[in-house]
Structure 1
Amino acid sequence: MSARTENEADPGADDGRAGRAADAATTDAAANTATATATAKARKREQHGWYFYDFACSVYSTSVLTVFLGPYLTAVAKAAADAEGFVHPLGIPVRAGSFFAYTVSASVIVAVLIMPLAGAVADRTGRKKPLLAAAAYTGAAATAGMFFLGGDRYLLGGLLLIVANASLSVSMVLYNAFLPQISTPDERDTVSSRGWAFGYTSGAFVLVLNLILFQGHDSFGLSEGEAVRICLASAGLWWGAFTIVPLRRLRDRAVVREEGPAVSGWKQLMATLKDMRRYPLTLSFLLAYLIYNDGVQTVISQASVYGSEELELEQSTLIVAVLLVQVLAVVGALAMGRLARSYGAKRTILGSLGAWALTLAAGYFLPARTPVWFFALAAMIGLVLGGSQALSRSLFSHLVPAGKEAEYFSAYEMSDRGLSWVGPLVFGLTYQVTGSYRCAIISLVVFFALGFVLLARVPVRRAVEAAGNPVPLRV
């Protein structure tokens, strides 16, 4: 009668243990919530810092590559040309009007040689920030050095362009590689789109300042050439100054290092090329992106030459047109980010490629010396430019195996900038053969048409799964 179990002998003990367990669970839940909140806050801080590299370097793409350097370097090359209109870099006869396009191609080839190694070293050592700083400040210094262009120094201009363009490409490998680390899968379309929006915002702001200086150069006591060179150099100063923000906020992730970075970088580069064959769907996306983005990059770099040389538009008209592109690209990037949440990134990109092809076809028929139609063309470009680039970047981030971000983004950047030498080469050769920039611009339609077909064939959901990543609700 008196025999009882331990629990029966002390029913209060169960209550005490249950209470302590409940308290511990509550404490753990609170700790987990606090940790999650702190993690989210730290992630947002890095995201905000990450946006600012777009804010820093996009001024180079806008003011230098898109607006001022093409027409200015072409004019410098023409000043150095012989009676038949040819310059002779390294003894090779080159039509002065094609020099800029060929130099852009050369800069991309240099970048191809450097980017994969930079990505492999970054992943192997985990030191993305120092490499980003080195690439960014090399590019910024080369851009600032463009102040010294003048007279017939077309070779100096070509050299500085090659250094600046290649440095930008290397820095973007490292910058893009942070995206999978600072955002969750469902955040990436939004984060990537905001980065592009920041970039286009800074591009528009600086372009307004450039327009004021260029239009009022006489009142500032400057010649037109001096005003252009100040605009070029100021882009380098801006690039260097605002790179400080991401360098302060982004953080490197620790990795296990087994050997020196120089050796392991080359080993890992070779391993990366072999490893990518294990993900054929990722490669299929890269191939499609290589093709259509080659068209995008060529339009960006050659539009001002087309406007000034073929359409006979004033430099101030080109600046206003590019400013319009910058403003509408912010709107387009954010709007296409919203469309991607409803329809998926792939469908949204495909729609933008159709719009690109129609825009270039319209550009072929633009009448000369008619700014209003060039502005209409610029508006069409702006609405699709930012979104197609931002969504391509975020879509690719889902196709990258974990731990290989910088390596794979080096391949992506080779598609984004590193292999975008074919378009300028086609553009330059078409002009060299035909003497018509209209024929050169229409030749780029094939890049968007072929890219559309190749992207449409990629099963994106299967590609994300094959890379071992969680599949977002809409891709």
Structure 2
Amino acid sequence: MQKIQGDSKVIKAWAFYDWANSVYSLVISTAIFPMYYDAVTEGNFVRFLGIEWEHPNSLYTYALSFSFLIVAIISPILSGIADYRGNKKSFMKFFCLLGSISVMSLYLFDGLSTTWIGIISSILASIGFWGSIVFYNAYLPEIAHPEDHDRVSARGFINGYIGSILLLLLCLSLVMLHDSFGLTEGVAIRLSFVVVGVWWLGFAQITFRRLPKEKKIPKDQLEEGYLWKGFQELKKVLKEVKKDHPVLKRFLIAFFLLSVGVQTIILTATLFGTAELKLGKINLIGTILIIQVLAILGAFLFSRISERFGNIKALTITIIVWMFVCFGAFLLHKDLNNILVYFYILGGVLGLVLGAIQSLARSTYSKLIPETEDHATFFSFFDVTEKIAIVTGTFVYGLLNAITNSMQWSVLSLAIFFFASLVVLLRLKKTKYVS
């Protein structure tokens, strides 16, 4: 097997995939698309799957829940097959292609009558993005030594934040100066979706070119029933985690609980600002840019804190801050004096811990998994845990919004998950690389 652990060129190329794909997270999941969707559907009933949806924003969160449920179901199977056949890169390429093309197809979502295209394309883009992340994350233990996982993981997130900020500014310029290009605002927004897809697919080729070549098992040498190896590998790893790795099992529980809060807030923050607080597009984009810039600082800062004081202490700090973010958001309402100032402050605080908690969670898990060749299967647990958490969080968020007609209670409910995660994390035993 090609020796790649510690190879600086491979690490740089691996981390560059964050530069490529994070534009989806920012422009599509967080910033421009949620605002566009809210503007198109606001005050209207949306017909989808033969149902009239009174709350279109709840439909959107349910659609996201469905996409994450699909990823949670298929990723363990695909990861097991990838480990067995040695074709992680092929799966990563497939999901990258699915996600980027689906993002480009959002251009066809041009009004209320085509909301179904927006919903379906959003689902497929989400599956493509998160499906590729399963295999992307699985490379981390192969390319970096355990003591370097924090730095390498943070490097990827920092790349992602820088790249996504640049593209968001480009898309924002296209939208704000649409008259100069002879475009309507709607067409300019939809063109930005195409730009995101092209950016993602194009820059991903740099990563694919540097990642090691696959050593696939020839088809004539495959065992009978190899397609079911994914289930067998999943069952084996599950049994191993439960029996032999109690610290890893406890960390996965904590990670599930914190992911309910983190990922749901990331996915719904813009809808909260537009639908609940009635903030303007420029104000929301400004807040998002503040979050992204401070997330770069936060990822770097907390990687250093974890090196000095340990992963658990660093994660504990971030979780406590996230709890305060939830309470702060609950207290905000559209009639509050200086609402914009408070929203900016809350966004700044969130930014400092956004990149940090994601980077630390990934690197901590990579340190806790045992020495194995089945990295993709082990990381499928990490990704499936996160996806089920997102299904839980977005469903609860959408349900509470539909029941109370307010997103404030939805946000407050997430603080409960953060608190539970903190309780579990504080009981985690120290290991050689995690303290």
- Structure 2 length-normalised TM: 0.92
Structure 2: tracts of 5 or more residues without a match: none
| C-alpha displacement of 1:148 | 0.8
Aligned CA RMSD, in angstroms, stands at 2.1
Indicate if the aligned counterparts of 1:58 and 1:200 stay in contact, CA closer than 8 A: yes
Indicate if the aligned counterparts of 1:189 and 1:390 stay in contact, CA closer than 8 A: yes
370-379 vs 338-347, greater mean Cα deviation: 370-379
1:405 aligns with 2:375: yes
Equivalent positions of 1:95-134 (< 5 A) are 95-134=55-94
CA distance in 2, matches of 1:96, 1:449: 30
1:246 aligns with 2:246: no
Equivalent positions of 1:158-307 (< 5 A) are 158-252=119-213, 254=215, 259=223, 261-278=226-243, 279-307=245-273
256-265 vs 360-369, greater mean Cα deviation: 256-265
Task: Provide the residue aligned with 1:27 in structure 2.
Answer: none
Equivalent positions of 1:260-409 (< 5 A) are 261-278=226-243, 279-368=245-334, 370-401=339-370, 402-409=372-379
Residues 387-443 of structure 1: CA deviation (Å, up to 9, x unaligned): 111011000001212222100111101123353111111111111111112222222
Q: Which amino acid aligns with 2:159?
A: F
1:421 aligns with 2:421: no
1:434 aligns with 2:404: yes
| C-alpha displacement of 1:79 | 7.0
Task: Provide the residue aligned with 1:44 in structure 2.
Answer: 8
Indicate if the aligned counterparts of 1:118 and 1:170 stay in contact, CA closer than 8 A: no
Indicate if the aligned counterparts of 1:120 and 1:265 stay in contact, CA closer than 8 A: yes
How many residues matched?
424
| C-alpha displacement of 1:93 | 4.6
1:65 aligns with 2:29: yes
CA distance in 1, matches of 2:22, 2:341: 26
CA distance in 2, matches of 1:415, 1:120: 16
Residues 247-276 of structure 1: CA deviation (Å, up to 9, x unaligned): 011115658775264242333233333333
348-357 vs 110-119, greater mean Cα deviation: 110-119
Residues 43-75 of structure 1: CA deviation (Å, up to 9, x unaligned): 111100001111111000001000122232234
Q: Structure 1 vs Structure 2: percent identity of aligned residues?
A: 30
CA distance in 2, matches of 1:269, 1:415: 13
Distance 1:253 1:151, change over 3 A: closer
- Structure 1 length-normalised TM: 0.85
Task: Provide the residue aligned with 1:137 in structure 2.
Answer: 97
CA distance in 2, matches of 1:60, 1:234: 10
Distance 1:42 1:447, change over 3 A: closer
1:149 aligns with 2:118: no
Q: Which amino acid aligns with 2:346?
A: L
Indicate if the aligned counterparts of 2:259 and 2:389 stay in contact, CA closer than 8 A: no
Q: Which amino acid aligns with 1:356?
A: W
Give SS of 1:444's match: helix
| C-alpha displacement of 1:157 | 1.1
| C-alpha displacement of 1:42 | 6.6
Structure 1: tracts of 5 or more residues without a match: 1-37, 462-470
| C-alpha displacement of 1:287 | 1.1
Indicate if the aligned counterparts of 1:215 and 1:316 stay in contact, CA closer than 8 A: no
Give SS of 1:436's match: coil
CA distance in 1, matches of 2:170, 2:107: 17
CA distance in 1, matches of 2:263, 2:5: 35
CA distance in 2, matches of 1:180, 1:252: 17
CA distance in 2, matches of 1:274, 1:259: 23
Indicate if the aligned counterparts of 2:26 and 2:164 stay in contact, CA closer than 8 A: yes
Residues 364-393 of structure 1: CA deviation (Å, up to 9, x unaligned): 223527322221111111100101110110
1:444 aligns with 2:414: yes
Indicate if the aligned counterparts of 1:88 and 1:94 stay in contact, CA closer than 8 A: no
| C-alpha displacement of 1:163 | 0.8
